[in-house]
Amino acid sequence: MVSFKELGLVNTREMFAKAIKGGYAIPAFNFNNMEQLQAIVKACAETKSPVILQVSKGARNYANQTLLRYMAQGAVEYAKELGWEHPQICLHLDHGDSFELCKSCVDFGFSSVMIDASSLPYEENIALTKKVVEYAHKYDVTVEAELGVLAGVEDEVSSAVSHYTKPEEVVDFATRTGCDSLAISIGTSHGAYKFTPEQCTRDPKTGRLVPPPLAFDVLDAIMEQLPGFPIVLHGSSSVPQEYVDMINQYGGKLPDAVGIPEEQLRKAAKSAVCKINIDSDSRLAFTAAVRKVFAEKPGEFDPRKYCGPARDLMEQLYKHKIINVLGSDGKAE
Ligand SMILES: [Zn+2]
């Protein structure tokens, strides 16, 4: 048993309370390799932004949970080395799907876990979430739960269609489970293909897809039911066209990839939405930078020469999100 406190990590409680009061959102960035983590820590240390480092089940399988845990611990020390005196870094399990997985993360030094039982019937979702909350709270680990179903594919999590969260269920759910934050479904979606062309309109000038707007009426109704309660948005990458274009220009094939416009996320960040998950955008940045090096320097075979530029581009992306979308810069001096 290792407490997250020994590792210099923090849970989400204070982070979220401040974010709701301050009208901004905490970035939740997924990581599964060193370059990604370096980019996240550098971006957050330089902007003094609190951050949630997310590990999915897929990342655990890919990178080994022990290594990831020590990497998160290393991230705290690296942040200090970069001159960030009091790093506000949370290590969070993304989409935990069983009590056992959540428990093992709590026991292993995570400061926050998500139990995603949203695919189960309502009462079963409550029962499983409550069980995780009861265990996690004993160790001051915070718990994110989910109500409603997001469309899209992310690691093992996938669904063809979305079901918006029902505002009439949220009070009962939050009260009976005791969860600390709630992931809701209002039209965001996992992956780089968040909407089919049929769901979108096309910009006549650029020919690009314009996605349908998020259901802010559902968000408003949820906030009315649960005033001041921390809300989480998953699947909130914007799929920047510049990266998609770069990937396609250098031999990739991502036709009609589409995400959530940043304008809508900016609006959400000012509300009770206090955690916004971004994963696909950094995957796109990484891939775009690597493809460019491969295309322009076919003789290059030192991984540092293509992972380095990938790291730089991800760092730029993270800073942009922090400063221009979430507004979390300067919130963790
Ligand atoms: Zn998610």
Q: How far is the CA of 191 from the centre of ligand 1 (A)?
A: 9
pLDDT digit of tens for each residue in the chain (333 aa)? 999 999 999 999 999 999 999 999 999 999 999 999 999 999 999 999 999 999 999 999 999 988 998 999 999 999 999 999 999 999 999 999 999 999 999 999 999 999 999 999 999 999 999 999 999 999 999 999 999 988 766 555 566 567 899 999 999 999 999 999 999 999 998 888 888 888 888 888 888 888 888 999 999 999 999 999 999 999 999 999 999 999 999 999 998 888 999 999 999 999 999 999 999 999 999 999 999 999 999 999 999 999 999 999 999 999 999 999 999 999 998
**In this structure, how many other beta carbons lie within 10 angstroms of the beta carbon of residue 16?**
27
Place of tokens 């991502």: 254
**DSSP-assigned states of every residue in 103-131:** HHHHHTT-SEEEE--TTS-HHHHHHHHHH
| Ligand 1 center to 154 CA (angstroms) | 7
| Distance from the alpha carbon of residue 81 to the mean position of ligand 1, in angstroms | 31
CA 113 to ligand 1 center in whole angstroms:
12
Report the C-alpha gap between 260 and 185 in whole angstroms: 13
pTM reported for the whole predicted model: 0.95
**What's the CA-to-centroid distance between 294 and ligand 1, angstroms?**
31
CATH topology of domain 4-326: TIM Barrel (3.20.20)
**Spatial contact of 96 and 105, defined as CB atoms under 8 Å apart:** yes
Residues of 133-145 as b/e, b for ≥16 C-beta within 10 angstroms?
Answer: bebbeebebbbbb
Between the CA of 62 and the centroid of ligand 1 the distance, in Å, is 17
Structural domain boundaries of the chain? 4-326
| Separation of alpha carbons 241 and 295, rounded Å | 19
Residue 198 token pair? 């049929």
277 CA distance to ligand 1 middle (Å) = 7
Q: Which residues are catalytic?
A: 94
